[in-house]
Each structure stands twice: as C-alpha cells, then as structure tokens.
Structure 1
Amino acid sequence: MKNSIAERITDFIKNYPPFDNLSYNDLYKLAVETNVLYLDKDETLYSQGKPPKDFFYIVNQGAIRIYRQDGEKTVEVEMCDEGDVLGLRPLIVNENYILNAKAYEESIVYAIPIQIFNEQFINNAEISKYLITRFASNSTTRFSQEENERIFADYKRTRQTDYFSSKISNLTTTAVSCNHKHTIREAALIMSDNKISSIFILRKNKPIGVITNKILLHTVATGKYSIDESVGEIMGSPVVTASSDISIAQAQIIMLQKKVENVCITEDGTKNSKMLGMVTQQDIVASLSNNPAVLMKQISRARTISRLRDLRQQLNDLLKRYIDQHISFTHTLTVVAELNESINEKVVELSVKELNKTPPCKFAFFALGSQARKEQLIPTDQDNGIIFDDVPQDQIEEVRSFYMELAALITKNLHSIGFEYCPAEMMASNPKWCLSKKEWKTQFQDWIYNPTEKNILLTAIFFDFNFVYGHKKLVDDLSISVYKHTKDNKRFFMFLAQDALKSPSPLGFFRQFIVDQDGAHKDHFNIKQRAIMPLIDAARILTLQHNLKGVNNTAERYYKLRELEPQNAEVYEACAYAFKALLKFKTKNGLTSLGEDDGKFIKLETLSKSDKVKLRRCFKPIKSIQEIIAVRFQANI
C-alpha cells in the first residue's frame, strides 16, 4: 500500500538536485524514511557549535536563514528557500555545525536520514558530482583521502577540494622569504635556488612587501634599478594578507578584488602579524575544476575584443551552472560581479590601446546603475560616464573631443561583447556624460539643489556610480563632493523619497500580480520595476542620509543600515533577503528567456503556485521600507 505522504515528498524532491537525476523508486524508498518538520518563525533547526543530527534537510515551504555568530556580530551567509538543501556537510565529515539555521518564517522542512541516504546513493556518480560542486556547509578541514574514496568515489583521482567552505589553510604552502635588509641580488638568488616566481620580504617575521618575476623584469632587467640595491626599492607593497580560517572561496574573492596571484597567510590575517605561508591562484586551480580564477586570468591576458566576447559567454555559462547547482547566490553574485567588472576594465584598456593616442590629461571611466552596484549578472544595456581632470577653459572642448572619441570606441566594444547601447544614451559617448571634474561636481549640485522631476529621475541613475578604469581619485573626489552636498539636505531627501514612493505596488486587489496592460510585454509581470527597484531606491536614499560612502550593493546597504538602526533591523534584514531572492528570480528567468531580455518580464502562466507564493513573500518588505521612507522624509504622496 502506497504511503501518500512519502509520495508527496518524492514528487517534491525529484525536482531538485541532487535528487533530480535519480529514479522515482529509489527516491520513494528514501521518502518513506523522511520526517516532515513544521517550524514556527524564529524556531531553530540547528545551532552553531552543536553536534550534527542524524538528518540533513531540504526546504519544502518557507525560508531558513543561515548565519554565523561571531561574538555579538551576526554574519549573514544565505537564505535557503524551496528546494535548497542544508545541514549535509557536518554529517559527511563528522563535525559540529559551524553555522546556525533558523526559520525566517513559518516553514516546512523535510528531514532526510543520512544513513539511509548513504546506503542508497553513496556510489551514485551524480550524487558525487553534486557534493563536490555544492557542499559548502563550512567544513574546517578538507576531506581526507579516505573520505574522498568513500564519498566521492567517481572523483577520487582528482582530489577535489570543497571550494565554498574548506579552509584555505589546507592549501597553504610555506612561503619563501628574505629579510628587508637583503639586496635584490640576494633575493633573486633565493628565488632561483628555490625555483619560485615570488618572494616575500619580512621585517621581524611580518610581511612588508613582495617581489615577483614581473617586478624584476620591469625594474632590474630594464636597468632602472641596480641589482645591488635594497629589496625595499622595488618590492610591491602593501602585501595582500588573509587569515588561515577563511574559505577557499573567500581567498579567491580576495584575489579577484585585489587582482593578485597570491595571498600571504598570517596569524591574524593582517600584515602586522607573523607570516604562516602563502596561497596562490595555481594552488586553487590545481585543487578545483571549473574555477573562476582561470576565467579571471584569461580576462587579464585577453588581447582582443573578440576574445573578451568569448569570455563573457563563458561567464554566462558559469552563472548558469552556479544557478542550476544551487550554489550560494551571495557567492555567485560576488564572483560574477568581480569577473564582469574585470571584463569592463579590460574593454577600456584595449580601447585606449586601439585609439593609440596619448590622453591629454588624467581621466576615469565609471559605471552606473546595476553594474556600479555589482548587481549585474546578465548583461544589460550600458550606463557609464567619463570624468577627466580640470583643464584651462580654452582647452576643455578639445580635451572633451578626445575623450568623446575614446568613449565612442569603448561603448562600441562593450556593445560587441554583449552590452547593448543605452536607449536613453546614458553613456560616456554622450557629451552630457563626458565631463571634467568641475563640470561633474556642478552637474550633481544642480540635481541636488534643483530637484525637478527630470533631475530626480537622473539621480536614480547617476547616484550609483563606481570606478572602472583610469585615475580612481577623480571618482573618489566626485563621491566626496556628492556626500558633502547631500548631507542634512532635507529638501533633496524629501523629493528623492517622493520619487521612490512612486514605484507601483507589485500586487493589486485580491493580491493579484499587476501586469503590463499593453505593449510588447502585455500581461507580463515587470519584476524589476515593480519589486526590485523600490528596494534599490529605498536603500539608496537611506545610504545617502547616513553618509555611507563606498557601500553600493543594495543588500550590503541594508545590512549596514541594520547595524546603524537596530530599531529597524528586522525590516532591513527582510529587505536584504527579499532583494537577493528577487534578483535571483530575475536572473533565472533571464537565463531561460533565450536572449529576449534580462529576465525582468515574467510570464505569469509559467510560474508554479509555489513560485508565486515565494514572490509574494518577497513583496512584504517593500511596504514596510516605503512606510519608513514616507515617515522619515515626510514624503507621503
């Protein structure tokens, strides 16, 4: 006699990895032994530091918040919702939980017994692939060879490392070093004797610099420095450092952000403590397959725009793979954003070379909108600008003409690799957005002190900007000027808030989705305009009010606001979760829309009932944050 509960569990889990490639009968046998857990809001599923239970979990309904408690600080890791698996890794490696799992709202979770799971699927190749790629549950040590052979039988020869949570200490090697008093000749001899390409310079066992083959090539080999001079004359400084307890994924993010090929591991993670060793890109690449570090290196070595176009497609493939395999969306967003930024930087670099003219003064190319916020996963239309140094008034148009020519080349090349031209021409190739430093400051002041409807619309685009290429100080100076003039500017904030509150509600009467009534996307739901943008707009105005410089990403803005306003912490946390969930939804839709758009228009008939429930859940914080905006800035409209 069939078990109806087991049938419902089987019908659910067969749609999600790692169960989606397994037979129905095998899954049914597992489902018979599975428990159904009903969790109230804030009820704990498992706790940091506690021994693992006999079950791992898959979320059926609701959401489970995953976080780490570092003293009084709460570190967000992920929000797991329908189909997400959690709590598996501690069972596999027999360790305590190092994360907390708590119900974000009323939830239903299936508890799957690990013993039955192992007995049935331990030698299944698809399960092995999934575990290697996905889990991720924050181990403190890499799998031993014995465990690799037992659990990852299909992959035992590769000795794969758990990318997302194995500690970097497992890949740390002894770093060759020399004293800061050594000469370049002595350092080079040590490098030669050890057959290495880099050497760290120490003072009292603390890293103060690094010398690489590349540095030697550009300094000593060119005759700029004598080989008998001190290592301090040519060493790269400061050293990029990290602690041994960060994950491999975190180490790779550091390398991507800092654009370095090695990280110095120290006792406390700073340059002010004893060096323990080093980790290189090669170490990570050797331990993993399909590694984004390889893609980053290929981007840095690209010599043509056509090559970058191919690499941008590979980045799309990487994104799709991460989404399909339920990789942490927070990590996915960070990796893709860094790679995407590097592609844009490389486009500008190649364009400057292609123009083959000497720039008349310092300049910087900067991104606007979603790319500036590091939220652009699928390529959209371009939003960018150029800022150049102030020059005498009689030279400004000649200088602008030069940068307009460069901008036209940049935007053309960006278009050729997949970034469409902006229909509203919010691009550096438009003379309105190719300005001197003084002109840009004047432009922003005009938007701030004359908040007309048009000016407020432009602030929504231009107030999220981020440096891409050139002289970063120009962009930093512009940012300082913006915050100077917005500080305590109640009138500007009132107009900005009124505009933010104009965003249409996602739901109408009877909680029905509001869809476009005409045009090419008739009867489609615009998830960007109706759900994502209200959260972006609210985060921007609150960030400006708090004078928070250097925090562009919307979710990160809400996490920072949570710290600054504990009284509204619950709302801000909900907004951060909703934003990432909505962006993930838009991204998944964009990956399946076959290039029709970036995923913002959703055909409601393609949504399952559970998808609609998840979307409605994400809409709840929008009302709460808009109420805060309306009251704080007296902006009821």
Structure 2
Amino acid sequence: MNSIAEHIADFLKEYSPFDHLTIQELSEIAVNIRVVNLQKHKALFQINDLVHDSFYVVASGVIDLSIIADAEETILNKCHVGALFGLRPFFAKNNYRMTAKAREESIVYAIPIAVFRPFLANNAEVLNFLLENFANNTPNSKDSENLRGNIISDSVFYTDQQSEMQFFQSLSYNTNPLITNAGSIVKDVAQLMAETRFNSTIVCENNIPLGIVTDTDMSSKIATGRFPVTVSVDKIMSKPVITVLENVSLAEAQLLMLKNNVTHLCVTIDGTDTTEVKGVISEHDLIIAQASNPGVLIKEIKRSQSASELKQIRVRLTNLVQTSIQKNIPLTHISNITSEINFAILKRAIELSILDLGSPPARFAWLSIGSQGRKEQLLLTDQDSILVFEDVADEKYRDVKDYFLTLGKRTTLTLEKVGYELCPNGHMASNMIWCKSLTDWIKQYDSWMKAPGEKNNNVSSIFFDYELIFGDQKLEDAISTVVFKNVKNNTLFFDYLGNDALRKHSPLTFFKNFNVEEEGLYKNMFDIKTRAIMPLVDGARLFTLYFDLKGINNTYVRFKQLTISDPKHSEIYLNCAEAFLTLSKFRTLEGLKNENSGQYINLEELSKIDKEKLKNALLPMKELEELIKSKFQLTQFS
C-alpha cells in the first residue's frame, strides 16, 4: 500500500462507520480513494447535478450543504472533519437535491460506491450505523464543532426532523407485476415489457418466485451480445430474488436494495421466496414514496402559492394517516406528525393572506382552538380559531380591527377551499366576536371565568384549548396568565366546567348496550365524538386547569401528566389516556372509510371483537365521572 493510501486508512479508522472495518478492509478501500482539493466557495456538486459514483468524507476544512427554498439559499448542515455526505447515489439514481460547497479551503476523500458496497453488505455494524443515522436525524454539526462520524444525506428527505417516519412509512407498489415462467423466450418477454412499460418481470413456478429479469439484465446480458434473444429467461434472470412482506417500510426497502445491490424487491405472502408473489417494489416506487414524507410535505407547504396547492398536500396527508394506521404505528406519533403538517398549512394560509393584504398594522396572534388547538385533528374536520391583536390607540382601533377581520375572512376562506369546513358555531377569527384586542380578550376570559353562565355568559370550553399558529408568542402568554390567575380558588368556575363535563349523555345504557341515535340521518348509529371522546376531552381539560398544568393541550398528554400531578388517581388517568387513543383510532378509521369526520359509527359494520374493544374503551369514563363528582363536590344536577 502506498504512503498516501496508508495515511487515508489511518484517518478513516478514527471515524464511524470505518472504525468497524479491519485495517485490511480499510486498505482495500483507501487505495481506490480519490483526494479532492476544493478552494473556498468551490462546489463539489450542485442541485440537479447527475449523481457521482462516489460518496465523500471531509478530510479537512468545512463543507456546507444547502438547498434553495423560497428563492433563498438555506444552509442545512455544515460538515466538519470526519463527516460523511453525498450519499444520494446509494439510494436513488436521480439527481442531487442539494449543493455541497467548500466554506473554506477543504480536502475531501471520494470513496467509490462500487468499492464500498461489498463492505456494507457484509458488515452488520456498518449497516446498522447507516440505519441508525438515517432513523435518528443527525444533529446539526454547528451545535458541536467536533461532531464525529455524522452522516448527512444530500437528500432533503433525510435532513428533516421527522426522518424517522421513513421507518413507518408504507410503500405503494405494483400489485399486478409481469410474471413469466422459466422457459419463456427472452425476445417475447422483452416485447411484453416494452408494451406494458414495465421494467421488470418476475420468473415464477406456480406463482413462487425463482428470479427476476430487469431492464438492467436485458441491457447488460442481451444488448451486449452475451446471450442471444432466443434463450429462455432463466438463463439471464437475477437470482435469488430478494423478497419482503407487503408492509415493508420505505427505509427497510432502501436498505435491502442497498445491502443486496438490487433495484427491485419482490413482495410475497410471508416475505420469503417460498410463498406466492403479491407484487414488486422498484427504486422508482421509493422515489415516489419520498414525496409523501412529512418533511417534504412541510417544505412544499412553505412554497405553496394557492389553496389548490395546499389542498393537494392535505390529500397526501390523509393518505399518510391511512397507511400509518394500517401499519399500527402508535396514534400519538401519527398525531404529532399530522398536527405539524396541519399547522404548516394553517400558517401558510395566513401568510398568503398577508401577502395579499400587506403587512399587519399591529402585532397579533392567530390561535387554533378546539381539536386543532389540542393537536387531535387527524381527519378533515371544521376549523376553530381566534385572533388576538395588541392594544392600539383608540383612533386606530377600527382600522386595525378591520384589517384583522379581513385577514381572518381571507384565511378561513382559503382553509375552506383546502377542505377544513367553516365552524358551524362561528368560532373563527373571521367572526368579529372572536377577533379582538388583547384587553378585550382579557375582559372576555375574566367574564367567562368569574361569572360563568350569568346573563347568557356561557363559556365554550374549547376556548381553553388553544395553540399559537402564527404571530406573537407574548400575546398567547398574556391569555394564559389571565386563565391561570383566574383558576385559583375559583369554585364557581369549576362547578360550571364540572357540570358541563357531566352533562354529556352516557355512552352505554343501563343494560350496557350502546346508546345510539334514535332518529334522523344517523339513526341506530353511535355518536363516538359526543358520547365518548368529548367527555374524556372535557375531563382532561378540567383537571389540567385545576392542577395548574400550563401549556399542555393534548388530551392524551394531559392524562399522562395528571398521573404525576395527582398520583392517588393515576390508574384512572392512565385508563382514560388509553381509552382516548382507542376511541380516536375508531373515529379516524370510520372517517377515512367514509371520507367524513368519523363522528357516527355504524355498529353493524363492526366485528364482535371490535364492538367489545369499543365497549371496553368506554368503561374508564364512569370512573372519571365519579372522580369529577367527588373532587368538585358535584351531583349531576347541581
């Protein structure tokens, strides 16, 4: 080994994943490495460049990875010594999605993928290193000047905080692949592939996969003259075919292709090559799936210019929710991802209105209330919002309020076009009652909480579930200060909220049957929202306010927090937390099936097991009701 290669091997062994390789293996890699000197600001590759045959390690200096977003160059990461980057060619054949540019005079090592791939395939630690780094998004290296062994993919896809979603994200694939038998003639198969525009054919016996013929096999074995077109396909097929279960995730599929150096995976009934074929996954399917990644969706939202563009993204979010639920991903995780995307859509709708109207005349805060504010809006339900603007001089008040009312109307109209229906109760920032100055809002909350129910002063409890979408955090904080000041020793308020929580009709009859609708459009159906979910939402809110738990809006998280604040009743809270997830899943599945809000469950369509599961989820509500009565000394009729 020459002295340069020796020096490179010594350097690499200091960093992951190379520290998992032997000196012999590192030497084999090092002799094939190209040393690239980059002057300051010199680009190694740019967005839309064809992918290279190598990936890179920073030997000295710093490399910036950047994308163009909103017509500006945004630096996503700084790669310091030892950092890997430019991994895109491992995963996709399409062009780079980022620019890699030297921040200062730098040296990088170019490692040929063809040389490195065998070591990846045969070394579990190296493969696990890649897997973990793709699953746990790499921290930004500016947070650690000496960050070692960080992998930064040059695909926008991997740099997003939700990149672990790949490990849950299902793939759409061809469920009707071309299938042929081993004796078929290559010429006939090639003709069939050309006619159907399929780039692969699975070779089977009794629908059990023996091998696969791809475009690559055709070009490398037939077009080069190695085999005549008259041979049977078993002579040129790749075997064994790599098989997977149908619920393989995007990340798993990518890593299998990488590990086995293949471009197609065969889906079978049990994921082995001994059961029947159900479909084929191609590299193209992986690229398509990347477009539905949450991080990518959020970037697209930020660049959207119209309601119709936002609507298309919202449809893709619904598909993401559906596939995630089918894969039994925890509902809490799906809710987190969904609320991030929902919030991004709401924020963009406000931004588009501001772009039309011009800069706001005063600071303001747009708050989502209700299910959106609680981050529980998995389905396309109606929009609920309020707008708070800072106090202004009396002579400016009318003009300022007019601006924000117009902003509210434009934004709610945009959101309606996206698919979020207008709130039937008018709880929206476009309503002059719910668009007002901070002082007016403080008076409103004071009135609701100090004299609830008096002179038609009926407080809608959803106004206590709010989350800032856009604007000034200090205005939201000011509302919170008033709310939590007013809960102290406020028996009257808790009487009102407690009784409101108890007023909901019981979900089960005396004989433990479901309380269904007796008449109208939803006759004999079960109102899961009003009878089951809302009592839990109300109970969680009531105790959260009582125990002074600030900044927690989500019902599930509220119950989990209450187990700590009120340990004596932790079992009740835990049961309620689990019940809430179960009920929410039932509602979401019903909504996805019928393309509606999922409020009414058709019990006849539920299996016996699901009916029991639903009934069991309703049981903790009785305990919660008793706890409310005893804690706030209420009867149902007080």
TM-score (norm 2): 0.58
CA distance in 1, matches of 2:131, 2:571: 28
Structure 2 match to 1:402: 403
Paired residue secondary structure (1:364): strand
**1:327 equivalenced with 2:303 (yes/no):** no
Is residue 501–residue 539 contact of structure 2 (8 Å, CA) maintained in 1?
yes
- Contact 1:341–1:468, Cα closer than 8 Å, also in 2: yes
Residue 627 (structure 1) aligns with: 626
Cα deviations by residue, 1:61-92 (Å, 9 ceiling, x for unpaired): xxxxxxxxxxxxxxxxxxxxxxxxxxxxxxxx
For residues 234-633 of structure 1, what are the structure 2 equivalents within 5 Å? 251=136, 263-264=139-140, 275-276=147-148, 277=150, 279=152, 281-283=156-158, 284=163, 287=251, 289=286, 290=289, 291-355=293-357, 357-452=358-453, 458-593=459-594, 595=595, 597-633=596-632
Say if 1:608 and 1:191 are closer, same or farther in 2 by CA, change over 3 A. Answer: closer
**1:573 aligned partner, one-letter code:** L
Alignment partner, residue 269 of structure 2: none
Aligned partners of 1:495 and 1:635 also within 8 Å: no
Residues 618 and 192 of structure 1: CA distance in aligned 2, closer, same or farther (over 3 Å): closer
SS at match of 2:436: strand
TM-fit CA distance, 1:484: 1.4
Distance 1:272 1:632, change over 3 A: farther
Contact in 2 for aligned 1:263/1:278 (Cα 8 Å): no
Q: What percentage of residue pairs aligned between the two structures are identical?
A: 36
Q: Judge conservation of contact 2:452–2:458 (CA < 8 Å) in 1.
A: no
What aligned pairs does 1:194-233 form with structure 2 within 5 A after superposition?
197-198=75-76, 200=78
Check 1:362–1:607 CA distance in 2 against 1; reply closer, same or farther (3 A cut): same
SS across alignment from 1:361: coil
Q: Counterpart of 2:592 in structure 1: which amino acid?
A: L
Is the CA contact 2:487–2:493 (under 8 Å) kept in the aligned structure 1?
yes
SS in 1 for 2:429: coil
- Letter of the 1:328 counterpart: P
In 1, are the aligned partners of 2:560 and 2:573 still within 8 Å (CA)? yes
- Structure 1 Cα separation of the partners of residues 629 and 457 of structure 2: 17
Shift of 1:542: 0.6
Instruction: Give the Cα–Cα distance (whole angstroms) in 1 for the partners of residues 151 and 77 of structure 2.
Output: 10
- The 1:282–1:316 alpha-carbon spacing in structure 2 relative to 1, beyond 3 Å, is closer
Q: Against the structure 1 CA distance between its residues 199 and 534, is the aligned structure 2 distance closer, same or farther, given a 3 Å change threshold?
A: closer
Read off the aligned partner of 2:383 and give its amino acid letter.
Answer: Q
Change (3 A) 1:633 1:309: same
Post-superposition CA distance 1:507-565 (Å, at most 9, x none): 00211111112222222110010000010000001111111111111000111111122
The CA deviation at 1:306 is: 1.0
Amino acid at match of 2:476: V
The CA deviation at 1:282 is 3.7
Distance 1:624 1:515 in 2: 22
Question: Conserved in 2, the CA contact under 8 Å of 1:456 and 1:495?
Answer: no
Aligned-partner SS, 1:598 = coil
Deviation at 1:497, TM superposition (A): 0.6
Matched length: 406
TM-score by length of 1: 0.58
**Which amino acid counterpart does residue 608 of structure 1 have in structure 2?**
S
User: How many Å apart are 1:585 and its aligned residue?
Assistant: 0.4
- In structure 2, distance between residues paired with 1:393 and 1:246: 60
SS of the equivalent of 1:510 reads coil
Secondary structure of the residue aligned to 1:467 is strand
* One-letter amino acid of the structure 1 residue matched with residue 353 of structure 2: S
Contact kept, 8 Å, 2:453 with 2:459, in 1: the verdict is no
> What secondary structure, in the 3-state scheme, does the structure 1 residue paired with 2:322 have?
helix
* Residue in structure 2 matched with residue 9 of structure 1 by the alignment: none
Name the SS for the 2:139 alignment partner: strand
Pair 531,273 (structure 1): closer, same or farther in 2 beyond 3 Å: farther
Q: Distance in 1 between matches of 2:134 and 2:542?
A: 32
Report the CA distance shift for 1:391/1:602 in structure 2 as closer, same or farther (over 3 A): same
Cα offset for 1:334?
1.4
Cα separation, 2, equivalents of 1:603 and 1:350? 40
For structure 1, list consecutive stretches of 5 or more residues without a partner in the other structure.
1-140, 145-172, 179-186, 203-212, 221-226, 228-243, 253-261
Report the aligned-residue RMSD. 3.5
Q: Which has the larger radius of gyration?
A: 2
Cα pair 2:133 2:151 within 8 Å, conserved? no
Contact 2:58 2:79 in 1 (8 A): no
Note closer, same or farther for the CA distance 1:199–1:383 as it changes in structure 2 (3 Å cut).
closer
- Structure 1 pair 250–558 and aligned structure 2 pair: CA distance change class (3 A): farther
Contact 1:400 1:434 in 2 (8 A): yes
Q: Which runs of 5+ in 2 are unaligned?
A: 1-16, 21-55, 67-72, 81-97, 105-128, 167-249, 255-285
Aligned to 1:592, what secondary structure does the other structure show? helix
C-alpha distance in 1 between matches for 2:531 and 2:391: 40
Q: 1:453 to 1:592 in 2, by over 3 A?
A: farther
> Paired residue for 2:273?
none
- Distance in 1 (CA, whole Å) between partners of 2:471 and 2:396 is 20
- Checking the alignment, whether the CA contact within 8 Å between 1:404 and 1:429 is kept in structure 2 is yes
Alpha-carbon contact 2:507-2:531 (below 8 Å) kept: yes
1:405 is displaced (CA, Å) by 0.7
Aligned partner of 1:35 in structure 2 is none
- Please give the alpha-carbon distance, in whole angstroms, between the structure 2 residues aligned to 1:478 and 1:542: 19
Cα distance change of structure 1 residues 425 and 198 upon mapping to structure 2, 3 Å threshold: closer
